[in-house]
């Protein structure tokens, strides 16, 4: 059930929660009507997302890799009322702050791209942060979308990641692999929080009718990626290392392993395109995989990065070092069946990312 008429924010968040928690739907409807909202208003808010460019859209985490791409995409599509808050402005782990923000702004659309994200090292060093911060951010946002907006939120989009799937999931990994086996232990704290986010979207849809959907992207790359020497993913790490080798005039770059593992990469602008596609067209319980469907070996990737960066020395494989999982590919046939496909070829995406790195990270 969706309501769209204005209501008093404080009355809304405090009183509505009590009535909603009681499960008394008759009282809930009557309370909403007394506040000036009406179920009939729903017709106003179910307009197609893409044509609803005057609606308020909250992009949580708009300065991150994913959030900034979604922000760029929405600006390009003509959305005029984007709600953007930095971490310092609204700390999404703080329930009272999130509730006050939602009650005051009452967005019509909510996209959850804020999260505590990191590699294996960060996950194993700060497991408590990874589980607690992610649970807090997503719980606060999803719950406030329901309880603190007087029904203004007509759609919520939650972003997870491919690490939600079991370590030994079938390849390519279908959506149905969720909770079918043990997780990869190195990032299970993060994965458990993300799985809880999917389940929370499903539970709020079932119990409260909140149109909350979730998507699980494959490995992403692009502008705003993390190029940190210890904390970055393989693709930005390769860009940084080849660039540094080029600048210092080194003869070779040594990369761990044999280069044989297969990986899938998606440019973050393609992900942003998929997000708006799903916001516009999808409403369902099932989470949706978002991948490019194209696999490359780490060797092919490293050679491509070397070429794009313009490093003239040798690429050397240290085969005494471990390779990692042999293959990791998402099965994105559900999304493909809806008519979406990735458009940015890896070489083009790498060139774009390298340019961003040189313009924004190098010498900073």
Here the tokens at position 106 are 């009452």
Q: Which is nearer to ligand NAP, 4 or 136 (CB)?
A: 136
Residue nearest to ligand NAP (CB): 64
Instruction: State the Cα–Cα distance between residues 150 and 106, nearest whole angstrom.
Output: 8
Q: Which is nearer to ligand NAP, 93 or 353 (CB)?
A: 93
Whether the CA torsion 79, 82, 86, 92 is positive or negative: it is: negative
Q: Which is nearer to ligand NAP, 3 or 190 (CB)?
A: 190
Question: Exposed, middle or buried by CB within 10 Å (0-12, 13-18, 19+), for 154?
Answer: buried
Q: What's the closest the beta carbon of residue 137 comes to ligand NAP, in angstroms?
A: 6
Cβ distance 32 to 59 under 8 Å?
Answer: no
Q: Which is nearer to ligand NAP, 154 or 224 (CB)?
A: 224
Q: Which is nearer to ligand NAP, 12 or 225 (CB)?
A: 225
Q: What's the closest the beta carbon of residue 173 comes to ligand NAP, in angstroms?
A: 13
From 109, 126, 165, 190, the catalytic residue: 190
Site residues for ligand NAP per CB under 6 A = 61, 63-67, 86-87, 91-93, 113-117, 137, 159-161, 217, 219-220, 233
Helix axes 234-248, 346-360, angle to 10 degrees: 60
- For residue 265, how many C-alpha atoms fall within 13 Å in the half-sphere facing its CB? 23
Residues with Cβ within 8 Å of residue 235, at least 6 apart in sequence: 219, 221, 225, 265, 301, 305, 350, 353
Question: Exposed, middle or buried by CB within 10 Å (0-12, 13-18, 19+), for 159?
Answer: buried
Q: What value, to the nearest 5°, has the Cα angle with vertex 210 and ends 278 and 94?
A: 100
Residues with Cβ within 8 Å of residue 56, at least 6 apart in sequence: 81, 82, 83, 105, 106, 107, 108, 109
Cβ distance 290 to 217 under 8 Å?
Answer: yes
- 190 catalytic, yes or no? yes
Q: Which is nearer to ligand NAP, 52 or 273 (CB)?
A: 273
Cβ distance 148 to 9 under 8 Å?
Answer: yes
Residues with Cβ within 8 Å of residue 97, at least 6 apart in sequence: 90, 91
Pairing assessment for the beta strands 327-328 and 295-297 based on DSSP bridges: unpaired
Q: Which is nearer to ligand NAP, 314 or 359 (CB)?
A: 359
Residues with a catalytic annotation lie at: 190
């Amino acid at each position: 059930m969706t309501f769209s008429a204005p209501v008093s924010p404080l009355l809304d968040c405090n009183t509505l929660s009590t009535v909603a928690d009681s499960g008394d739907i008759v009282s809930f409807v009557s309370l909403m009507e007394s506040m000036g909202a009406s179920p009939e208003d729903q017709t106003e808010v179910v307009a197609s997302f893409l044509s609803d460019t005057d609606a308020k859209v909250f992009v949580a985490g708009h300065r991150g890799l994913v959030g900034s791409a979604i922000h760029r995409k929405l600006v390009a599509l003509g959305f005029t009322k984007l709600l953007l808050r930095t971490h310092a402005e609204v700390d999404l782990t703080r329930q009272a702050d999130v509730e006050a923000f939602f009650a005051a702004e009452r967005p019509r659309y909510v996209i959850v791209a804020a999260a505590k994200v990191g590699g294996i090292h960060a996950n194993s060093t700060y497991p408590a942060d990874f589980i607690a911060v992610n649970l807090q951010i997503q719980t606060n946002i999803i719950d406030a979308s329901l309880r603190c907006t007087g029904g203004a939120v007509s759609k919520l989009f939650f972003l997870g990641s491919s690490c939600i799937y079991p370590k030994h999931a079938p390849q390519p990994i279908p959506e149905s692999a969720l909770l079918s086996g043990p997780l990869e232990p190195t990032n299970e704290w993060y994965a458990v929080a993300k799985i809880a986010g999917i389940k929370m979207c499903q539970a709020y849809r079932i119990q409260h009718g909140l149109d909350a959907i979730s998507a699980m992207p494959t490995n992403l790359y692009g502008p705003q990626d993390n190029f940190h020497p210890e904390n970055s993913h393989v693709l930005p790490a390769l860009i940084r290392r080849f660039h540094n080798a080029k600048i210092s005039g080194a003869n070779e770059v040594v990369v761990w392993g044999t280069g044989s593992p297969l990986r899938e990469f998606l440019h973050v602008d393609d992900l942003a395109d998929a997000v708006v596609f799903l916001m516009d067209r999808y409403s369902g319980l099932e989470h949706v995989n978002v991948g490019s469907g194209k696999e490359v070996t780490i060797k092919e990737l490293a050679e491509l990065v070397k070429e794009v960066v313009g490093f003239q020395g040798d690429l050397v494989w240290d085969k005494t070092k471990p390779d990692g999982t042999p293959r990791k590919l998402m099965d994105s046939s559900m999304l493909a069946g809806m008519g979406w496909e990735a458009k940015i070829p890896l070489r083009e995406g790498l060139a774009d990312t390298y340019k961003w790195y040189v313009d924004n990270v190098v010498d900073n």
